[in-house]
Amino acid sequence: MNFTKSDEDYQSKIIGEFFVYFDMAISVIPFGIPKIIYKRNYTELEKRNIQTLLSGMVASSLKISFDSLLADNYKELPELIKINDNLSKSLDKITEIRNSFAHGSYRIGWKDFDGNMDKDFFSLRHSKATKKGYEKRSGIYKISQVENLINELRTMQKSYLLIFTIISLKNQNQDFNMYMDILRETLKSIGKLDFKPLLEEK
């Protein structure tokens, strides 16, 4: 058995960090929405009013609201809207993975479905009842796949912050081309989100 207590602690830490970085990527969005709506310096009351309207929104509805507001208010920046659309699609995929962790179950260290253990692997199950019957949806993954997702989430958070900077500069009639260049380069580092199981339970 290639699995120790420190291996268990490490896997728990990485899975916990995945949740933290997901929340960090999503949590910056409410701070950008007032910039879109007001296009000026806004009061604390106006900011609180917007945040009150946004409170209680789950990640998907918050992101959809942001996407819609950006598209409606910045039609003159089609490249920014396209970049945000690509960012949004990538975040959708990670949201599905996050929901599998949050609403499913995982077994740290499982290398296969016979209970053999290894420091590099874990099992994740997010079963579902469908019209065609029960889907087991259980797989074996590498912990490095979760580490890659964390890196993607860091890049996504940085991308949203760059979008908000561009919006702020646009609203103030200032040049934002340098930040568009940085945003283009940043988005290039978002790879293909590959979170497919290495082994599936039949």
Q: Which helix (H) or strand (E) holds 93?
A: helix 78-103
The pLDDT score that the predictor gives to residue 77 is 96
Q: Which residue has the tokens 């106006």?
A: 46
| φ, ψ of residue 176 in degrees (nearest 5) | -125, 10
Reported as a single tens digit per residue, the pLDDT across 64-83 is 999 999 999 999 999 999 99
Q: Which helix (H) or strand (E) holds 34?
A: helix 29-38
The residues, ordered by sequence, that sit 6+ positions from 152 with a Cβ below 8 Å of its Cβ are 90, 94, 190, 191, 193
Q: Kindly state the average pLDDT of the residues 142-150.
A: 96
Q: How far is CA 31 from CA 60, 70, 117, 153, 157, in A?
A: 16, 13, 43, 17, 12
The pLDDT score that the predictor gives to residue 144 is 96
Reported as a single tens digit per residue, the pLDDT across 7-29 is 999 999 999 999 999 999 998 99
Beta-bridge mates of residue 128: 135
Integer Cα distance of 98 and 188 in angstroms: 23
Burial class (CB in 10 A: 0-12, 13-18, 19+), 153: buried
The upper half-sphere exposure of residue 9, i.e. CA atoms within 13 Å in the direction of its Cβ, equals: 3
Q: How far apart are the first and last CA of the chain?
A: 24
Q: In what order do the strands lie in the sheet containing 199-200?
A: 105-110, 117-125, 138-142, 199-200
Q: Kindly state the average pLDDT of the residues 50-56.
A: 86
The pLDDT score that the predictor gives to residue 126 is 84
Residues 166, 183 contacting (CB under 8 angstroms)? yes
Q: Kindly state the average pLDDT of the residues 89-103.
A: 92
Mean pLDDT, rounded, of the chain:
91
**pTM confidence score:** 0.89
The pLDDT score that the predictor gives to residue 132 is 76
- 198 has a pLDDT exceeding 90: yes
Confidence of residue 1 (pLDDT cuts 50, 70, 90): low
Residues 120, 144 contacting (CB under 8 angstroms)? yes
Confidence of residue 56 (pLDDT cuts 50, 70, 90): confident
